[in-house]
Amino acid sequence: MTETRPPQSAHLEAILLVGGQGTRLRPLTLRTPKPLLRTAGVPFLAHQLARARSFGVRRIVFATSYRAEMFTEAFGDGSEFGLSLHYMTERSPLGTGGAIRNAAEALTCGPDAPVLVLNGDILSGHDIGAQVRTHVERRASVTLHLTEVDDPSRFGCVPTDTDGRVTAFLEKTPNPVTNRVNAGCYVFQRSAIDRIPKGQVVSVERETFPGMIAAGETVLGYADRTYWLDVGTPAAFVQGSCDLVLGHLPSPALPGPTGEHLVLPGAEVSPNAKLSGGTVVGARARVMSDASVHGSVLSEDSVVESGATVHESVVGAGARVCSGAVLRNVVVGDGAVVGADNELLSGMRVWPGVQLPACSVRFSSEI
């Protein structure tokens, strides 16, 4: 008889959701999907893959859609990372639930096995092993990692009872009932994934979880207060990169010893320049004399000229910040030029290739 299923893996298998368009991170994500943006010197996903591997995961299915081919180019079959990687691509985005269902076609485990599912834009220090153990011991259908945030309205708000059972799932509600939110890491029973309708657009947050709760299935919360960050906005992306460099979240994927800054091979930093706050200076980038770069990401081949100030900002690949310019909380797209003495503040985004002339009049999004 012909074997129709691939051989079962002894290790926990995982699905990584990486099909979103990363719209809040534009213009950084116009060319590169969010999970592949360089974070502390390596593609963001490298941190998540290394972490999953440290908890015994060996086989991961990527649920891809937007710029799917770039994931294969970046990670291949995974052997370089000690992993076996597989790719399931949606022809058009199927939403989080549809993507999980579609990716499950490439799993090898049986219906009673737990499967780890991860959002592809999360840095988390939580104990995945303990989450899996809780799930198995309590015989749950799904176990959600929960964390606490100041503004739960931007996330999935998840109240639980005293026993840890999830009593409701309120995605992006304007009236959150608790600060406890979905942290984007689930342990599913494989059989629960198989019940998601196939080939349809489904939201796990708006349909699958509320449906499972209404049906009386065991939907558990695994709450903790370790490091947690969704890097979906420019400010959070910069923070995540800096936190990794500063060692606030240890990552096996860091490309070398870090501290106040990480300077990648081929970069040139003037001895008179000041780098601080977990700044990354990308490969072949240049930081000239008396420039001050704090808590920022300078991408490969970018230039910060003398006397410029770059704080909590991202400077795209090949972009140039001319002398005397001041950037605070700004994203400069690839190849853009910020002319001398411009002052750009709070949330401004300079689109790729745009050239802002040198100026004495200052630009600001603040009134």
CA–CA gap between residue 331 and residue 238 (Å, rounded):
10
Restricted to residues 44-63, the positions that interact with ligand GDD (CB under 6 A) are 63
Secondary structure of 30-72 in HEC code, one letter for each residue: CCCCHHHCEECCEEHHHHHHHHHHHCCCCEEEEEECCCHHHHH
Q: Within 102-161, which residues bind ligand GDD (CB under 6 A)?
A: 119-122, 155-156
Contacts of residue 362, defined as CB under 8 A and 6 or more positions apart, other chains included, come to: 341, 342, 343
- Which one-letter DSSP state was computed for residue 11? S
Nearer to Mg ion, 18 or 337 (CB): 18
Nearer to ligand GDD, 90 or 301 (CB): 90
Q: Please list every residue from 94 through 133 that binds Mg ion, using CB under 5 A.
A: 121
Q: Specify the stretch interacting with ligand GDD by CB under 6 A; choose among 16-24, 45-53, 125-133, 256-264.
A: 16-24
From the CB of 134, what's the least distance to Mg ion, in Å?
A: 23
Give whichever of 68 and 253 is closer to ligand GDD, judged by the CB atom: 68
C-beta pairs of 66-72 under 8 Å, 24+ apart in sequence: 66/19, 66/20, 66/21, 66/22, 66/33, 66/93, 67/32, 67/33, 68/19, 70/32, 70/33, 70/36, 71/18, 71/33, 71/35, 71/36, 71/45
**How far is Cα 338 from Cα 305, in angstroms, rounded to an integer?**
10
Q: Closer to ligand GDD by CB, 181 or 317: give it.
A: 181
Q: Which amino acid is residue 315, in one-letter code?
A: V
Stretch that binds ligand GDD, among 78-86, 88-96, 133-141, 287-295 (CB under 6 A): 88-96
Q: Among all chains, which residue has been given the structure tokens 């909590």? A: 312
Among ligand GDD, Mg ion, none, what does residue 322 contact (CB within 5–8 Å per kind)?
none
Amino acid 18 reads V
CA distance 279 to 269: 12
Of the candidates 97, 98, 32, 100, the one whose C-alpha atom is nearest the C-alpha of residue 71 is 32
Work out what residue 189 binds among Mg ion, ligand GDD, none; the CB cut-off runs from 5 to 8 Å by kind: none
Interface mask toward Mg ion for 310-339; x: CB under 5 A? ------------------------------
The one of ligand GDD, Mg ion, none whose footprint includes residue 318, by CB under 5 to 8 A per kind, is none
Which of the stretches 74-82, 91-99, 307-315, 332-340 binds ligand GDD when contact is defined by CB under 6 A? Answer: 91-99
**Pick from 25, 28, 99, 104: which binds ligand GDD (CB under 6 A)?**
99
From 35, 114, 156, 232, residue interacting with Mg ion (rule: CB under 5 A) = 232
Q: Do residues 15 and 63 lie in contact, with contact meaning Cβ atoms separated by under 8 Å?
A: yes
How near is the Cβ of 120 to Mg ion at its closest, in Å? Answer: 8
Alpha-carbon gap, residue 35 to 48, rounded angstroms? 10
**Residues 178-197 within binding reach of ligand GDD (CB under 6 A):** 181-184
Query: By CB under 6 A, is residue 18 in contact with ligand GDD?
Result: yes
Buried b / exposed e across 100-120, counting CB within 10 Å, b at 16+? bbbbbebbebeeebbbbbbbb
Asked if omega into 27 is within 30° of 0 (cis), the reply is yes
**Unique residue bearing structure tokens 């992993």:** 83
Report the residue number, 232 or 278, with the smaller CB distance to Mg ion: 232
Query: Judged by CB under 6 A, does residue 39 bind ligand GDD?
Result: no
Contacted by 207, from ligand GDD, Mg ion, none: CB < 5 to 8 Å by type? none
Q: Which of 171, 217, 290, 341 binds ligand GDD (CB under 6 A)?
A: 171
> Which residues in this chain contact ligand GDD in the complex, by CB under 6 A?
17-20, 63-65, 90, 93-96, 99, 119-122, 155-156, 171, 181-184, 205, 230, 232
